[in-house]
Amino acid sequence: MQPVVYFAGNPNTAGHHAAPLKSRFDVRVLPPEQIVEQANAGDLAVFYTEHFDAFREASLQLPEKNVATLYMIDGILEWRNAWENSPDEVACPYAMRPALSHKIACIGASQARVLADWGNAEKVEVVGIPRLDRLKIGPDDNPDTKRPDQSPLRVLVMTAKTPAFTTQQLQTVRQSLNDLMVWQRANPSIAGREVEFTWRLTRGLETELAVDNQLKNLAGDDLHSQLKQVDAVITTPSTGMLEAMRLGLPVAQLDYHNRPHYVQTGWDIASADHITDTLVQMAERNPTRMLFQQQQLADALYLESNATERLANLITAMLELAQQKIEADQPLSFPPNMLPQPQQQQIRFNHTTLYGAAEFQESDRTVLQCQLSHSRREIEHLNAQIEQLQSELDQAHQIFETINRHPVSGPIAHLRKRMIDLMAKIQRRKQSQNQQAPVSPAPFNEPSDS
């Protein structure tokens, strides 16, 4: 009998997590309490959260039935969500510290490191985000090839699904968005380009700020199409910024909370004072910032291979090992590193883009060798000239010192220098007087009759 892979939740919250695997497994989406009732030994349950009690209880009960559990993280870690939730929230404040599931599917290497430090070293596996696999990215999605510099600078301003976790945090987010609105009204253009803002807000912020909201759904389909139509993104900390970075867009985190970031972008807006400079640099696609952003993306999001395939391989390996444990009448346990460890992603350091020097555009090795050889000869000639000039200067200093020490020529040389200084002083005084003298009006000439 084929084992079942359950996804904890309902079609609206977990359906898009389960969709990529329906062609590979017997996949069923059910609330966590129903999974506890229906799952049998050898099945596997996938959770996208362990924050709320119903999911945590299922994570604890299912292993007792020999059902394997996998925590599939679908987004970034966010400081406020991890450490500063509302104290009266009916949920566990210690979620993921450590995780309850047997294994954790992480979206990238940096997330795996953080979760390992939280007590999950044996559980973390780097998978990626399977739902992003279906988003095809081609050459037409490169902003450098489709948006001329003279066209309007189109900026998508968006908030995370949950932009705040306390009332005070929500007020701070609202203030940051309002500052952007005020800035836009005062700056219709920047760096010679018209500025257009598109808003994609959640949590009712679009109503409070009275903007034309472009949010259609939170499944991610419309976000991808919107990102293809803009030049830059300003967002509160969210997983959406990874997708924008993946498309090569300059991204700024809008974060007035002054909290650490588990995922960094090329730019940060922490106050209204940062908006102008940030947008100027984003419009120019500052190459050093873009390089930094690419490096952060490579660490935050696994992109080496298909994430759905890695997730399917992990589930398959867990199901096979679970069956072996059950047949041996042993409790379920899983070793570390069940998936091949990802290689460190190399980001190309483009000297031409970063420094703009023409020499970096030459790729012919022989030409470069000739230029290097000639440059070395020029340096040798210049160094020889410098040495000759330094030698002549030293000789001149010795001559002047000899003259200054001479009992007859020494006083004459000092007197000559004093006379030269005095003449220069008189000349400067005359020039100053001439500049201050009033200018006589030009004589009035009567027009002639001719």
Say if residue 240's pLDDT is above 90. yes
Q: Which DSSP string corresponds to 330-394?
A: ------S--SPPPPPPPPP--HHHHH--GGGG---HHHHHHHHHHHHHHHHHHHHHHHHHHHHHH
Bridge pairing between strands 68-72 and 103-106: parallel
The tokens describing 3, both together, are 């084992």
Instruction: Please tell me the predicted confidence (pLDDT) of residue 449.
Output: 44
Mean pLDDT across the chain: 87
Instruction: Please tell me the predicted confidence (pLDDT) of residue 139.
Output: 47
Query: Would the CATH topology of 4-133+306-327 be identical to that of 139-302?
Result: yes
Identity of the amino acid at 379: I
- The hierarchical CATH code for the domain 139-302 is 3.40.50.2000
User: pLDDT tens, 121-174?
Assistant: 999 999 999 988 877 665 455 554 445 566 899 999 999 999 999 999 999 999
Through-space distance between the first and last CA atoms of the chain, rounded to whole angstroms: 119
- The hierarchical CATH code for the domain 4-133+306-327 is 3.40.50.2000
Instruction: Please tell me the predicted confidence (pLDDT) of residue 371.
Output: 83
CA 255 to chain centre: 13
User: pLDDT tens, 292-333?
Assistant: 999 999 999 999 899 999 999 999 999 999 999 999 999 999
Instruction: Please tell me the predicted confidence (pLDDT) of residue 13.
Output: 84
105-110 mean pLDDT: 96
User: pLDDT tens, 371-430?
Assistant: 888 889 999 999 999 998 898 888 888 887 777 777 777 777 777 777 888 888 888 887
Domain locations in the chain as residue ranges = 4-133+306-327, 139-302, 365-418
Task: Please tell me whether the overall predicted TM-score, pTM, comes out greater than 0.75 for this model.
Answer: yes
Instruction: Please tell me the predicted confidence (pLDDT) of residue 443.
Output: 46
Instruction: Please tell me the predicted confidence (pLDDT) of residue 54.
Output: 94
* Dihedral sign for Cα atoms in the order 345, 97, 254, 256: negative
Cα angle 76, 135, 248 (rounded to 5 degrees) comes to 65
For the chain, state the CA radius of gyration: 35
Instruction: Please tell me the predicted confidence (pLDDT) of residue 138.
Output: 52
Instruction: Please tell me the predicted confidence (pLDDT) of residue 131.
Output: 87
User: pLDDT tens, 242-271?
Assistant: 999 999 999 999 999 999 999 999 999 999
User: pLDDT tens, 17-76?
Assistant: 888 899 999 999 999 999 999 999 999 999 999 989 999 999 999 999 999 999 999 899
Q: Is 136 helix (H, G, I), strand (E, B) or coil?
A: coil
Say if residue 91's pLDDT is above 70. yes
Instruction: Please tell me the predicted confidence (pLDDT) of residue 145.
Output: 45
Instruction: Please tell me the predicted confidence (pLDDT) of residue 362.
Output: 73
Say if residue 445's pLDDT is above 50. no
Q: Is 252 helix (H, G, I), strand (E, B) or coil?
A: strand
Q: Would you give the DSSP letter of residue 124?
A: E
344-359 mean pLDDT: 63
Q: Are 25 and 48 in contact (CB under 8 A)?
A: no
User: For residue 288, which phi and psi values (nearest 5 degrees)?
Assistant: -70, -35
122 burial (CB, 10 Å; 0-12 / 13-18 / 19+) is middle
User: For residue 345, which phi and psi values (nearest 5 degrees)?
Assistant: -75, 130
* Dihedral sign for Cα atoms in the order 353, 359, 360, 364: positive
